[in-house]
Amino acid sequence: MIKFLFFDADDTLLDFSWAEDQAIRRTYRELGAEMTDAMYARYHVVNQGYWQTYERGEISREDLLVARHRQMFEEYGLDCDPVRCEDLYRKNLGIGHHFIPHAVEVLTYLKPRCRLFLASNGVAETQYSRLESAGIGPFFEQIFISEHAGAYKPMPEYFDYCFARIPGFRREEAAIIGDSLTSDILGGIHAGIQTVWFNPKNKPGRPDIRPDFEIRDLLDLKTLL
């Protein structure tokens, strides 16, 4: 039986893709540039590449946040300050929210049945702003942000930080659910807890990262748990 359930935030409970789209386009407008659909598609590729580099421990979070904008400005010949861009983007990203379908329904169902925790690699200030906007903070016993932990998913040190702060914690009664194989699922495997891959778009898996369970809809957690 699962008693300790860790939720990823972005693209598991909150639709980060929607928030990212709104925030980066607003930021470019404030900088005097217009982001086209093609530029947004390219930004998504550049951004994902830097986050994967971060997960491998090859770049710091602080360098990542600015480097992705610098690369975009260089590729498109834009005379913009990447540091100012990141500051504006963080502010805009914290405005508003959009739920993944059935997120609140599932949290409401699970709250009296499990001890719920949030496990996020996001920037602390932005994540707390988004959680406050969404109103889902009270569902969680504790919120663990990598920036405060001094480590990040999938690092074992991140999970050790979380587990040490949960009274009565038992690995054999714990699971993590998230959309990222390389962050949430690999991290859970390294931490010795069960893993649930939230894969609503039916993305192909990886033979080297095998979750214990895979679901397409958050409602599947009702029967799974």
Residue with tokens 């550049």: 46
Q: Which domains does the chain have, with CATH numbers?
A: 4-15+97-224 (3.40.50.1000), 16-93 (1.10.150.240)
Check if 8 is active-site.
yes
Q: Do the Cβ atoms of 216 and 202 come closer than 8 Å?
A: yes
* List 8, 10, 11, 179, catalytic entry: 8
Q: How far apart are CA 89 and CA 106, in angstroms?
A: 30
Q: Tell me how crowded residue 34 is: count the other CB atoms within 10 A of its CB.
A: 9
With residue 177 as reference, give the H or E element that holds it.
strand 174-178
Coil/strand/helix, residue 21: helix
The tens place of each residue's pLDDT in the chain, 225 residues long, gives: 899 999 999 999 999 888 889 999 999 999 999 999 999 999 999 999 999 998 888 999 889 999 999 999 999 999 999 999 999 998 898 887 899 999 999 999 999 999 999 999 988 888 888 888 899 999 999 999 998 999 999 999 999 999 999 999 999 999 999 999 999 999 999 999 999 999 999 999 999 999 999 999 999 999 998
pLDDT at 12: 97
- Rounded to 5 degrees, φ, ψ at 3 are -110, -25
pLDDT at 17: 86
Give every strand in the sheet of 115-120, ordered side by side: 142-145, 115-120, 4-7, 174-178, 194-198, 213-215
